[in-house]
Amino acid sequence: MKVIIPLANGCEEIEVITNIDVLRRAGVEVETISLKGLEVKGAHNIIIKADKKIDELNIEEVGGIILPGGMPGAANLRDDKRIINIVQKLDQKDGLIAAICAAPIVLEAAGVIRDRPATSYPGFGQEMESCTYLQDRVVVDDNLITGRGPGVALEFALKIVELLVNKEKAEEIKVEMISNF
């Protein structure tokens, strides 16, 4: 299964790189896509080069999406109709939908968190009125995973591995990375 991570200017770099790294360690095919040019400037002025542009993406090959937060990155994703369309299509086929930090606002805009438990970076809950808002570090509801922010990026990525691969692989990576949570 291919998982995509869309990159928008202003994205949270830790959330991008941690998810790419951990999922690739687990053997998951991860592809980064940009909304415009291949080079994206993160929230902390780090340049990240995407694998391809969104217009080159074949949605039929995609089984999941991981939305990084950061501002204005999450708002840029929320305001892009192509991202909203991908999220909605994945939800219809029970594909993985994961969003961390401010990015759950994309899920609200796509209408996929109505009456479902979710979390986000503090202060963004008010923009997620349709969900059952929780303040947990990572929240899982079937195909939907949300996380609080940069400080839980590793825990969030390992939870995705647990769901896409298995718990044993997530534990193996956790031990290899000397993670104590």
pLDDT of 119-144, one tens digit each? Answer: 999 999 999 999 999 999 999 999 99
Residue 82 domain-assigned? yes
Residue 34 domain-assigned? yes
Torsions phi, psi of 31, nearest 5? -130, 130
The overall average pLDDT reported for the chain is 97
Q: Is 131 a catalytic residue?
A: no
Q: Which of 142, 136, 177, 133 is nearest to 158 (CA)?
A: 177
pLDDT score, position 34? 98
Torsions phi, psi of 67, nearest 5? -100, 115
Whether 181 has a pLDDT exceeding 90, the answer reads: no
Number of domains in the chain: 1
pLDDT band for 180, please (50, 70, 90 cuts).
confident
Residue 136 domain-assigned? yes
Query: Which of 75, 86, 101, 164 is an active site residue?
Result: 101
Q: Which of 174, 181, 178 is nearest to 25 (CA)?
A: 174
Share of the chain above pLDDT 90, in %: 97
The answer to whether the CB of 49 falls within 8 A of the CB of 38 is yes
Whether 162 has a pLDDT exceeding 80, the answer reads: yes
Residue 124 domain-assigned? yes
Using N-to-C axis directions, what is the helix angle for 13-25 and 153-164, rounded to 10°? 30
Q: What is the mean pLDDT of residues 153-168?
A: 98
Residue 181 domain-assigned? no
Residue 178 domain-assigned? no
CATH number of the domain to which 37 belongs: 3.40.50.880
* pTM for this entry: 0.97
**Residue 47 CB contacts under 8 Å (≥ 6 apart), including other chains:** 39, 40, 41
Residue 179 domain-assigned? no
pLDDT score, position 55? 96
- The domain of 15 spans 2-171
